Amino acid sequence: MGIDFPLAAGSFFVAIVVGLTGMGGGALMTPMMMLFFNVPPLAAVSSDLVASAVMKPVGGAVHMRQGTVNLRLVGWLCAGSVPAAFCGVLVARAFGDGEQIQQTIKYALGVALLLAVAGLVAKAWLSRREGEVSTDLGEIVVRPFPTLLVGIIGGLVVGISSVGSGSLIIVALLVLYPALKANQLVGTDLVQAVPLVVSAALGHLLFGDFQLDVTTSLLVGSIPGVYLGARVSAWAPGGIIRALLAVVLLASALKLLGVGNAATLWILAGAVAAAAAGWSLLRDRGRAEVGVAGELGEGPQAAGGGVEAGVSSRRPR
């Protein structure tokens, strides 16, 4: 069993991004193996899931100690995601053997990455409200059926493509529970991802195309990378990291879906330009709202005609 050092180096840098953002493990690691190291799609998915099953418990244990995990949410998510993830492996195998299943998984992964990009955009928009909706974990009202449905869909996607345990499910939690803080979302998602990824990894060990040398190379690079990324995340600008992650995910999705190089560059340029315009518009709107609030604050003083407080406005007779 030999270690592929270029693959280990690539997984190291991907793991740094994961540690910085809390997202992008399967969404970046699997496409990297397929696009740059010519690992077959099913083998890439299987090896990435087995490696994630080793790494996920570390992050989950940290959040459990910090008290940023809603265990009721974890329970409802796992009730749907754990069996669905195992079934997702069987669904992937049912698509066919050989080239057919490889192409199917590649396209499924491309679609999943596009959903992850949309999720990052939604997360950036919803995070603007984070200061307004800060709620303790004990006050969150769990919605069982929608949460169970999120677990089922996320588990199926993870079982088929290895994408979803962070990039997709955390976005669904943002929509269902906007009152959760960012660290609570990440902590809850990490803990529920442990049995989810273990279930999917078990399915791929039994029915997939697990390769021990590929998984070992991933672990050699990703374990120190995740640790370093988590340490740096305390001061790194999260907005810039999420923007870079979105660009990488979009480029990977387009390549997996068979889009040509020239078209990919044009789409990326258009997406970056649209994002910059949208960010500028939101910033100008925020400044305008601050200006209106300032004018309203000055209104009572202006209505007083410039007369100082405590001085009668009546002239002496």
How many CB atoms neighbour CB 3 within 10 A?
Answer: 13
The per-residue pLDDT for range 233-254, each reduced to its tens digit, is 656 565 666 677 677 778 877 8
For the cut 70, the answer to whether the pLDDT of residue 2 exceeds it is: yes
| Distance from C-alpha of 218 to C-alpha of 48, rounded to nearest angstrom | 8
Asked if residues 150 and 172 have their Cβ atoms less than 8 Å apart, the reply is yes
For the cut 90, the answer to whether the pLDDT of residue 65 exceeds it is: no
| Distance from C-alpha of 45 to C-alpha of 52, rounded to nearest angstrom | 10
pLDDT of residue 306: 46
Asked if residues 182 and 130 have their Cβ atoms less than 8 Å apart, the reply is yes
Amino acid at 299: G
- Residue (of 268, 288, 296, 241) closest to 22 by Cα position: 241
For the cut 50, the answer to whether the pLDDT of residue 297 exceeds it is: yes
Name the residue ranges covered by the structural domains of the chain: 5-259, 260-292
For the cut 80, the answer to whether the pLDDT of residue 272 exceeds it is: yes
For the cut 90, the answer to whether the pLDDT of residue 198 exceeds it is: no
Written in H, E and C, the secondary structure of the chain is: CCCCHHHHHHHHHHHHHHHHHCCCHHHHHHHHHHHHCCCCHHHHHHHHHHHHHHHHHHHHHHHHHHCCCCHHHHHHHHHHHHHHHHHHHHHHHHCCCCHHHHHHHHHHHHHHHHHHHHHHHHHHHHHHHCCCCCCCHHHCCCCHHHHHHHHHHHHHHHHHHCCCCCCCHHHHHHHHCCCCCHHHHHHHHHHHHHHHHHHHHHHHHHHCCCCHHHHHHHHHHHHHHHHHHHHHCCCCCHHHHHHHHHHHHHHHHHHHCCCCHHHHHHHHHHHHHHHHHHHHHHHHHHHHHHHHHHHHHHHHHHHCCCCCCCCCCCCCC
| Distance from C-alpha of 85 to C-alpha of 163, rounded to nearest angstrom | 11
Q: What integer is the mean pLDDT of 76-91?
A: 87
Burial class of 14 by CB neighbour count within 10 A (0 to 12, 13 to 18, 19+)? buried
- Of 33-42, 240-249, 290-299, which gets the smallest average pLDDT? 290-299
For the cut 90, the answer to whether the pLDDT of residue 148 exceeds it is: yes
Residue with tokens 């939604």: 122
For the cut 90, the answer to whether the pLDDT of residue 79 exceeds it is: yes
| Distance from C-alpha of 59 to C-alpha of 19, rounded to nearest angstrom | 9
| Distance from C-alpha of 235 to C-alpha of 114, rounded to nearest angstrom | 28
